[in-house]
Chain A
Amino acid sequence: MLEGIMLGLETAFSLQNLFLVVFGCLIGTLIGMLPGLGPMSIIAIMIPVAINIGDPSAALILLAGVYYGAIFGGSTSSILINAPGVAGTVATAFDGYPMARQGKAGKALTIAAISSFCGGTVGAILLLFFAPALSSVALLFHSAEYFALMVVGLSAIAAFAGSGKVAKALMMTIAGLMLATVGESALFNAPRFTMGLSDLQSGFSFVTLAMALFALPEALFLVLNPNKSNTSANNQAIKDLRITKEEAKKIAPVIARQSIQGFLIGVMPGAGATIASFLGYAVERNIAKGAEQEEFGKGSIKGLAAPEAANNAACTGSFVPLLTLGIPGSGTTAILLGALVALNVNPGPRLMIDNPSIFWAVIISMYIGNVVLLILNLPMIPYIAKLLTIPRNYLIPFILFFTMIGAYIGQNNATELLILIGLGIGATLLRFADYPLPPLLIGFILGGMMENNFARAVNLTDGAAFMYERPMTLGLLLVGVLLIVIPIFRKYRLKTNSINVADGD
């Protein structure tokens, strides 16, 4: 192994490859900031450039840099304008955006950058040592376990079931699951619930829904409530960049836990950064106690650090099945697999033996990519955060423009914009009625995967008995149920306790 690491270091530290990492990270960050262009599309766009380089390690190093950069860029738009362009950064917006509204945009970006760095670094180290061993664990996961894992991911909705909101959060989740059934599905033969509209054939697009639920109502509220834009973060966005010692102490264990958990989830093909971030958020919220738990969803630094560390670690984890088994665990790694095959490299168990320089160079360059990303981004944060100080009359039109163009670029379809406006008006009304919107998006993201895996498991085992016959499935399902029930129970007990105390007094 040591020999391999040295070989990787030698390849990755060549001048050309270092330049490629920096270039990839820069391009990824800049384009990733545009909502609507996630890592998958950016990598797809960069493939011709990578193939032109000719050297497979250099190409993969460039693409890995783009991947990391795009994920960090995506977090930036989630934090600053509540417009998560990638499913993996939706959970970042839950606490990142409230922080930006409180005038802590700079701090939020710094926490995101540091958590991403730690997540990616821990991921790269774990990949270095455990990749071959973990690939066999990944194969133990079947569709039954994936279904159970999605249920655990859904438990993140519990975070939004605040006082008197349990039924509302559940209703929103069901609405999200219903929206996910529109259009064609991987397992069935005809589109469902399209109402004869060909534009709905492929279902609602994630970006359109995310923009309609998060960015558009937010921009409308900025316009509606004159006080909000006056007293908002505008004047103080760049104050308070540094993280205090206390804050660092608070988030350090969160980052450590979520880096490992995120990596392990990323290793399983199909799970990926999205589930890792939701799960990371749910777990950390459950671990947090008292006031800290209440703060989740209102600008908690733990709530921001958890999904950021988890999604970056998961991205690294998703390279395990790709490099060791040749199985792409996510859309992005599927595109990377395509690029590798085009470059005459066949990822799989023999990659380590046939092309050790590629295998190790990629792992080492991931680490370098993380360092480069941190060095590039930390000095840029004050300038990025300054975007919020643009006067309202200019900022709002541009937020609306980015929201709309994000939905348009992905589909190249103007009807998508009308759907965005319609859903956006609906989402604004829901916010007026105090319905939490994140559960809707979580339901939508996980719904399709959940149904497919459940259907596959049911068809394979001829019934739903797998839910209690497979110990791993049962265990995961129980964890999911506990993650939902415990916070509700805890809240209920607190309430009854306080009523009793009041009676006693």
Chain B
Amino acid sequence: MTLDKCIAVLFLTVSIVYGYASYTYPLLPFELNMVFLPNTMPLALSVLGILISSIIILSKKQVPAESLTDGDIDFSRLRDYNWGQALGLLIAMTLYAVLLRPLGFIPSTVAFLVGCGWILGERRLHIMLASSLIGAGTIWYLVQEVLGIFLKPLPWFMG
């Protein structure tokens, strides 16, 4: 099964679960008398979702070859893709999301930027470190000091 059909199957499952959740949505007593209920549109959407995804799953027509290559994806060269780097960046992003609060904005951002640069093959650490410090510092100053949106700069043990 091709990837687009797999996604359609997944969407069909989501639509069924979504439809079930809409159908069993607990309505408040006074809502029962309303013409338009909180689950009216979700129910309609789940029916449409089931219909459309079924059409995609059942259609025999293959996606024309040119539309597979006209965009950014070259399916014949998937093996040459830098999967390791992309995975590394995703892990770095997840770590950044988890550590942003406890480590503080500036240390975690500098670590994230240097880490991403390293994953992408940048070995001149001094340049990367300097540019990350400038970038993180400028954004922190702009967001916290100029705009007044709180952004905890330092790790938990430093206040």
On A, residues with C-beta under 8 Å from B are: 31, 34, 37, 45, 162-165, 167-168, 170-171, 174-175, 177-178, 181, 185, 188-190, 192-193, 219-221, 223-228, 392-394, 396-398, 400-401, 404-405, 408-409, 412, 414, 417-418, 420-421, 425, 429-435, 451, 454-455, 458-459, 462-463
* B158, CB-defined interface residue at 8 Å: no
Given known contacts A178-B42, A412-B150, is B81 in contact with A168 (CB within 8 Å)? no
* B157, CB-defined interface residue at 8 Å: no
- State whether B149 touches A223 (Cβ < 8 A): no
**Chain A residue at minimal CB-CB distance from B124:** A393
- State whether B72 touches A397 (Cβ < 8 A): no
- State whether A429 touches B3 (Cβ < 8 A): yes
> Which residues of the other chain, A, contact B142 by a CB distance below 8 angstroms?
31, 34
- State whether B94 touches A421 (Cβ < 8 A): yes
In the complex, A394 Cα to B123 Cα: how many Å? 11
18 other contacts beyond A414-B101, A429-B3, with CB at 8 A cut-off?
A: A34-B139, A162-B67, A165-B67, A167-B59, A188-B38, A189-B38, A190-B28, A192-B25, A223-B85, A393-B121, A401-B135, A409-B149, A414-B98, A417-B100, A421-B90, A421-B97, A434-B4, A455-B41
* B32, CB-defined interface residue at 8 Å: no
Given known contacts A190-B38, A228-B72, A418-B97, is B135 in contact with A223 (CB within 8 Å)? no
A-B contact pairs, 16 of them (CB 8 A): A31-B142, A168-B56, A174-B52, A192-B42, A223-B82, A226-B81, A393-B122, A397-B132, A404-B93, A405-B139, A409-B143, A409-B149, A429-B3, A430-B7, A433-B7, A434-B63
- State whether B4 touches A221 (Cβ < 8 A): no
Q: What's the minimum C-beta distance from B27 to chain A, rounded to whole angstroms?
A: 9
- State whether A189 touches B3 (Cβ < 8 A): no
Query: Of A175, A193, A393, which one neighbours B11 at CB under 8 angstroms?
Result: A175
> Which residues of the other chain, B, contact A451 by a CB distance below 8 angstroms?
41
Q: What's the minimum C-beta distance from B73 to chain A, rounded to whole angstroms?
A: 6
- The 7 A-B residue pairs with the shortest CB-CB distance in the complex, in nearest-first order: A417-B97, A397-B116, A433-B4, A393-B122, A188-B38, A455-B36, A433-B3
> Which residues of the other chain, A, contact B2 by a CB distance below 8 angstroms?
433
- State whether A174 touches B49 (Cβ < 8 A): yes
Q: How many A-B residue pairs have CB under 8 A?
A: 183
> Which residues of the other chain, B, contact A31 by a CB distance below 8 angstroms?
142, 147
Query: Of B26, B45, B122, B151, which one neighbours A177 at CB under 8 angstroms?
Result: B45
Given known contacts A397-B113, A459-B36, is B97 in contact with A178 (CB within 8 Å)? no
Interface string of B47-84 (1 = CB under 8 A from A): 01100110110010101100110011110000011110
> Which residues of the other chain, B, contact A435 by a CB distance below 8 angstroms?
4, 7
> Which residues of the other chain, B, contact A430 by a CB distance below 8 angstroms?
7
Query: Of A219, A394, A431, A454, which one neighbours B122 at CB under 8 angstroms?
Result: A394
> Which residues of the other chain, A, contact B131 by a CB distance below 8 angstroms?
394
